[in-house]
Each structure stands twice: as structure tokens, then as C-alpha cells.
């Protein structure tokens, strides 16, 4: 079980740093594009598309990391009044529902990529499937984090005293 705790924290930290790098990259690209467009009347070919792709990957991976950190959207008003054993069941059921929705999204996105992923995306001339892969990647990571949290909760390594992160 300690390996599961370690892998959960390790994967979460790596993805958080990846998000920081990608977010900084597309922020710098947006600033560069604005200066070039309004200052010099030119642009970088594919710059806007690159920013869009970086944003989509950031959102997809960030949603999965939010599950690991218990920062995902949740309405906890009623759950907070439940006794601890029932609260644990509610937390696990919530994670199972999140995992189920993400598995459905993976299924739909794979069919979507099969249909349109082979077409070249201008101006990069790469197959669209490379960019569309953000959806099954993010959803797959979300499923992994859901099942990690379920295993950690059942193993007693994850407290359900506060089911989701309390607001500041």
C-alpha cells in the first residue's frame, strides 16, 4: 500500500510540474503573439493553434490532478453531516461515478479520433489525432487517480474526515 501512496503523490507532482511548464509556455506564447500582432503587425504561423492545443492538454491533465488533490467540484453540504462510515461510502461512490463518466468519455473520444484523427490539422500538418489525444489522456489519468483514491481510502491511508478540500 505504501507503493500506492508513493505512486499517487509522485505521479501527481510530476503532472503538476508538467502543467506549470506547459502553462508558462502558452502564457509566454500568448504574450509574444500579442506583442507581435499589435507591435509589429505580424504573427507566428500556427501560434494561436499551438496555444489552443497547450490549453486543452493543460485542462485535461489539470482535471485529473484535481481529483488527486481533492480539488474537483463537489457539493459537500449534506455529506459533511453524515457519520464517518457513510461519508466514506459516499466518497467512494462519488469517485466511482467520476471514473465511470471518464471511461465513457474515453470510449467516445476514441471513436471520435478514429473518425477524424487522421486528417491533417493546418498549419502543423500533423494528424489531428495527436491533438485530440488530450481527451483520452486526461480521462485515463482521472480514472487512475479515482481508483488510487478508492484503494487508499479502503486501505485506511486516505482520511474522509474532510471528503473534499475545505474552502479557504
| 23-57: pLDDT as tens digits | 899 899 999 999 999 999 898 888 888 888 889 99
In a domain, 165, yes or no: no
Q: What residues have CB less than 8 Å from 109, skipping those under 6 apart?
A: 132, 135, 136, 139
Model pLDDT, residue 168: 45
Residues of the chain with pLDDT under 50: 168
In a domain, 167, yes or no: no
Model pLDDT, residue 135: 93
In a domain, 46, yes or no: yes
In a domain, 64, yes or no: yes
Domain residue limits at 139: 2-154
In a domain, 168, yes or no: no
In a domain, 70, yes or no: yes
DSSP 76-119: -TTGGGS-HHHHHHHHHHHHHHHHHHHHHHHHHHHHHHHHHTTS
Model pLDDT, residue 53: 87
The single-letter DSSP state of residue 78 is T
Q: CA 156, CA 150: separation in Å to the nearest integer?
A: 10
The single-letter DSSP state of residue 37 is H
| 117-129: pLDDT as tens digits | 888 877 778 888 8
Question: What is the pTM for the complete model shown?
Answer: 0.86
Counted domains in the chain: 1
In a domain, 24, yes or no: yes
In a domain, 121, yes or no: yes
Amino acid at each position: 500500500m505504501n507503493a500506492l501512496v508513493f505512486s499517487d503523490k509522485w505521479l501527481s507532482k510530476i503532472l503538476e510540474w508538467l502543467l506549470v511548464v506547459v502553462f508558462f509556455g502558452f502564457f509566454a506564447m500568448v504574450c509574444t503573439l500579442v506583442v507581435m500582432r499589435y507591435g509589429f503587425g505580424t504573427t507566428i504561423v500556427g501560434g494561436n493553434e499551438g496555444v489552443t492545443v497547450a490549453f486543452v492538454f493543460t485542462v485535461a491533465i489539470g482535471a485529473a490532478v484535481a481529483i488527486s488533490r481533492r480539488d474537483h467540484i463537489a457539493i459537500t453540504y449534506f455529506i459533511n453531516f453524515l457519520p464517518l462510515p457513510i461519508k466514506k461510502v459516499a466518497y467512494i461512490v462519488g469517485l466511482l461515478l467520476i471514473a465511470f463518466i471518464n471511461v465513457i468519455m474515453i470510449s467516445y473520444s476514441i471513436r471520435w479520433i478514429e473518425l477524424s484523427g487522421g486528417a491533417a490539422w493546418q498549419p502543423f500538418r500533423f494528424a489531428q489525432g495527436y491533438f485530440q489525444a488530450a481527451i483520452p489522456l486526461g480521462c485515463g489519468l482521472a480514472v487512475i487517480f479515482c481508483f488510487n483514491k478508492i484503494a487508499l481510502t479502503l486501505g485506511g491511508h486516505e482520511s474522509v474526515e474532510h471528503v473534499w478540500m475545505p474552502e479557504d
